[in-house]
Amino acid sequence: MPKGQKRKPNPTATPSPRKKSTPATPQKGLEFFFESQRKKQHKLEQEAFGDPQLARPSSPLGNRGNAADEAALWELPPTDEEPLFLTNNRSMLASTSSPAKEQPSHDSPITTPPEDTASIVKSEEPYSTDIINEPKTTASTNSFLLQTKDEIKEDNEALKQPLTTDPLEFDAHAYPVNSWMTPDGPVAPYSFITEAFCIIADTNARIMITNVLCNMLRVLMVHTPTDLLPAVWLCSNAIAPPYMGVELGIGPLILSKAINSVAGTSGKALKSLYEKYGDWGDVAYAAKVSVRTLIQPKPLTVRNVFSTLKSIASLKGQGTVDAKAALVKKLVLASRGEEVRYLVRTFVSHLRIGAVRTTVLTALAKACVLDHSPFCSIEEDDPVTMHFHRQAGDDKAVLTEKMKRAERVVRECYAQHPNLDNIVPALLQGISQFKDHCPLSVGVPLRPMLGKITRDLSEVFVKLEGRSFACEYKYDGQRAQIHLGEQGHIKIFSRHLEDMTDKYPDVAALLAKMCKENTRSFIIDAEIVAIDDKGVIQPFSILSNRARKNVMIENITISVCVLAFDLMLLNNEPTLQQSLRVRRQLLRDHFHLIENKFALVEAIDASGSQECQDEVSDFFKKSIKDGCEGIMVKVLDHPGMDNNGKAPMDDDKANTDKVETRATKTSQLLSTYEPDKRMESWLKVKKDYVEGVSDSLDLVPIGAWWGNGRKVGWYSPILLACYNPESETFESVCKCISGFSDKFYKEMLEVYSVDNGRVLNGPRHDYVTDHRPDVWFQACEVWEIKGADITVSPIHKGAIGRIDEARGLSLRFPRFVRKRDDKDVEDATSSEILAEMYEKQTNLHGSSAIENGNAENEEEEGWIADD
């Protein structure tokens, strides 16, 4: 159409609808947008950092609010120090380009929680259902949001020497830690130990686990020795020794509140995730993986995480749940990638990395041989130093021997002084003299010595052929370690090193009366038993009814008697290396016997002669008649002892790795007190050994079926499991239906209920069984169970792989005896002991009687039709 000519109207065309007239409104341009973004961002930063004074400036342009200036800022070329995430996402994070003001110190705990989660942006993507099954990546890879180019370069350097490197080839000094630097020096990020956890979790190889831990601890020891102690605690599923009674107290309620707040999930969604994964760490990871933060909080450090955990544990009184949830939320919000998985697992004291206490101690000992901290002065010409520390020119064989020697010393020291708060700082000063800084002392419980399982009395005479031994009553009570200091300081500890002084104020009041004038301080091993008015010993069930906390002497209704059987320290001098005969005599010489209050255990001395065998047999029968569990048989003397009753030094005891005859082994049995060891110089013979299976088992209830007939509405039978400390799993052993009273069944419904969180929606990840009970239990109790014998089973998984690659072990005709309130679930019968018992049984009866596991026989297990 020519320019300027009007278009003619078409009479047949449908007229277009007339637009509604609307009042003119000003358009919101770039300036409005950026001003709004600055206000929101400033608010988010205040909340993310927990203090308005710590918030960053809203924009590097101040308050000019010029859109052209903002646009110009977008076009600035990236610097070497600018995070790559900011380079690629300027439009979203333009206002975060300014440097932050001074932040709190790295080692201070997080104490101010964010009041809301406005700084969190929920991804529109649904929760991933396969996220846990994807290959795990290191924390440094997952923490890409604020990763600088220098950090990426550092990661690439670290890849040249990963933590999986053989410790003998790993150079801790060359490990890149430039990104750890702060004005106060290097500070280890939490992502560093998380990286080690990820590697460890992906392997079952014990050597690899130890190597990774060793290398990780060496890097900390060399570059940030202050972080070594927190890191060791974080690897140990604890933040303090057990006898201090420090607990995080973070349960499902606190975790749910924190995760829901951070991830913006509903309670229903969180429950669905827990039903799917059964692990709080995996749940938190799956929930947080779909969350994006506009402002990434300051990275977590090892020091900061540990100090915050101690702050959580110290919270008491009203408002504790909300205060703990706020601190947990703060840590979860600041975590990146895999950090959240292991952080939450730390909250529930279950890392799932297969690194048990002994593994951590082994790694720590090796680290101290191969490297030393700046606090350690190494004297090259010192023979003691050369005995433990790495020297120039040491070959692989020499270093291996030094590491074995160091491991033995560290583990022995920990057994006598189980407090990492003292051990780790002492090790930082050098392993050669560290035992002097961590001696056996009053107030710090040593780990008790344990006895080996014995089938019957005839086996005792074979094992102790030609040796003198003592037979002692094995009482049905609670083992107690009693401490008295020179200043009158009194402590009573359980077998698991828990402080139970408050439970026995009557025993504490007794100590001054039972000491003779020549007794200033002591540590004794004893059994506390309940007695009646006539002094007759009562069963453990009576003792278990005694109150545990805040017990007042005037309110005590259950009297007890202390029966001492060993002495570990006297007048500040350790007696561990003296013979049992000498230690026993010291008990007689330094303590008054008080009727029905304090006594020595009933005992006789014997040897392997026929006359003594008859005497031991009669003594065993008498112990059963007197209400005891059986007897303990202990070696009295050591052949190599001098006139003072002292045993050979540690290095001499260690050279026993050679293949020996039975006679040689018998002659080397020690009569010393060996903390944290289960020795054949102590043998236990119980009534159960003679009547049925070689030992009663301590098993954990992990599930149940609903009963029928008379037991409708009750849990019956109960699925029980042993504990595998290597894999940190519970392996099913039997289904028990015998030994329960109606009262017990009713109490079970209260003990295991949905309301208290002890009934689960599915099996935990660490339950190993082919059974599918109606109800799954939280592993929280230990029960003593008797049975006929142990069989190979295609269904149960107890000790699977130890006797048969594809089949486990099960207990036939199991019967409930009692609850073991004195034991934690980790102290249940281990897979190793279960396999050991099976082998002893096989040697005695042959394999034909017990190789009947080709099909599951429910009646043999105790699955009998209910009436």
What DSSP string describes 381-415?
Answer: T-HHHHHHS--TT--HHHHHHHHHHHHHHHHHHHH
d(CA 114, CA 109): 14
Tokens of 607: 């040897």
Tokens of 598: 């304090």
pLDDT digits (tens, 9 = 90+) for 153-168: 556 555 667 899 999 9
SS3 810: strand
d(CA 207, CA 203): 10
Angle at which helix 320-334 crosses helix 339-347, to 10 degrees, equals 160
pLDDT digits (tens, 9 = 90+) for 690-708: 554 446 899 999 999 998 8
Q: Which amino acid is at 865?
A: A
Tokens of 774: 């109606």
Q: Which amino acid is at 718?
A: I
d(CA 567, CA 44): 62
- Is residue 41 pLDDT above 80, yes or no? no
Q: How high is the pLDDT of residue 114?
A: 41
What is the end-to-end Cα distance of the chain in Å, rounded?
102
Burial of 652: CB neighbours in 10 Å, binned 0-12, 13-18, 19+: exposed
**Model confidence at 788, in pLDDT bands (50, 70, 90)?**
confident
d(CA 245, CA 230): 18
Report whether 492 contacts 525 (CB < 8 A): no
Q: Which of 215-219, 479-483, 743-747, 805-809 comes out lowest in average pLDDT?
A: 805-809
CA distances 5 to 9, 10, 343, Å, are 13, 16, 77
Output the CA torsion sign for 589, 591, 597, 603: negative
Q: Which of 143-147, 241-245, 566-570, 760-764 comes out lowest in average pLDDT?
A: 143-147
Q: How high is the pLDDT of residue 22?
A: 46
**Nearby residues of 390 by Cβ (< 8 Å), 6 or more positions away:** 369, 370, 371, 399, 402
- Is residue 664 pLDDT above 80, yes or no? no
Q: Which of 355-369, 572-586, 645-659 comes out lowest in average pLDDT?
A: 645-659
- Report the chain's mean pLDDT, rounded to a whole number: 78
pLDDT digits (tens, 9 = 90+) for 357-400: 889 999 999 999 998 888 776 666 666 666 777 877 788 899 99
d(CA 507, CA 527): 12
Q: Which amino acid is at 691?
A: E
Q: How high is the pLDDT of residue 139?
A: 39
Q: How high is the pLDDT of residue 62?
A: 36
Q: How high is the pLDDT of residue 101?
A: 40
Report whether 274 contacts 340 (CB < 8 A): no
Q: How high is the pLDDT of residue 666?
A: 53
SS3 122: strand
d(CA 772, CA 403): 45
**Model confidence at 79, in pLDDT bands (50, 70, 90)?**
very low
User: How are beta strands 783-786 and 775-777 bridged, if at all?
Assistant: unpaired
**Nearby residues of 101 by Cβ (< 8 Å), 6 or more positions away:** 53, 54, 55, 56
DSSP 334-374: H--TTHHHHHHHHHTT---S---HHHHHHHHHHHHHH---T
Compare 578 and 728 and report the one with higher pLDDT: 578
Angle at which helix 252-263 crosses helix 339-347, to 10 degrees, equals 150
Q: How high is the pLDDT of residue 844?
A: 56
**Model confidence at 446, in pLDDT bands (50, 70, 90)?**
very high
Supply angle C-alpha 334, 163, 154, rounded to 5: 60
Q: How high is the pLDDT of residue 809?
A: 92
**Model confidence at 4, in pLDDT bands (50, 70, 90)?**
low
Q: How high is the pLDDT of residue 80?
A: 37
Q: Which of 439-443, 599-603, 800-804 comes out lowest in average pLDDT?
A: 800-804
Residues of the chain with pLDDT > 70, as a percent, come to: 73
User: How are beta strands 559-570 and 598-600 bridged, if at all?
Assistant: parallel
Compare 77 and 432 and report the one with higher pLDDT: 432
**Model confidence at 205, in pLDDT bands (50, 70, 90)?**
confident
Q: How high is the pLDDT of residue 315?
A: 92
pLDDT digits (tens, 9 = 90+) for 789-823: 888 888 899 998 888 888 899 998 899 999 988 88
Report whether 847 contacts 817 (CB < 8 A): no
Q: Of 199-213, 469-483, 723-737, which one has max mean pLDDT?
A: 469-483
- Is residue 650 pLDDT above 60, yes or no? no
How many CB atoms are closer than 10 A to CB 557?
7
All domains in the chain, ordered by first residue: 31-96 (no CATH), 130-243 (no CATH), 252-347 (1.10.3260.10), 358-437 (no CATH), 450-688 (3.30.470.30), 692-861 (2.40.50.140)
Angle at which helix 252-263 crosses helix 267-277, to 10 degrees, equals 110
* Across 321-344, average pLDDT: 93
Tokens of 180: 């750890």
Residue 515: DSSP 8-state? B
Q: How high is the pLDDT of residue 845?
A: 52
Compare 198 and 755 and report the one with higher pLDDT: 198
Q: How high is the pLDDT of residue 627?
A: 87
Q: How high is the pLDDT of residue 765?
A: 81
Compare 643 and 317 and report the one with higher pLDDT: 317
pLDDT digits (tens, 9 = 90+) for 830-847: 998 898 888 877 665 554
Q: How high is the pLDDT of residue 5?
A: 52
SS3 734: strand
pLDDT digits (tens, 9 = 90+) for 453-464: 787 788 888 888
**Containing H/E element for 530?**
strand 522-531
Report whether 180 contacts 303 (CB < 8 A): no
d(CA 686, CA 472): 12
Burial of 646: CB neighbours in 10 Å, binned 0-12, 13-18, 19+: middle
SS3 635: strand
Q: How high is the pLDDT of residue 690?
A: 55
Q: Which of 1-5, 568-572, 598-602, 694-698 comes out lowest in average pLDDT?
A: 1-5
**Model confidence at 117, in pLDDT bands (50, 70, 90)?**
very low
- Is residue 867 pLDDT above 60, yes or no? no
d(CA 23, CA 29): 18
Q: How high is the pLDDT of residue 84?
A: 33
- Catalytically active residues, by annotation: 474
Q: How high is the pLDDT of residue 365?
A: 94
* Across 852-866, average pLDDT: 39
- Is residue 849 pLDDT above 80, yes or no? no
Q: How high is the pLDDT of residue 156?
A: 58
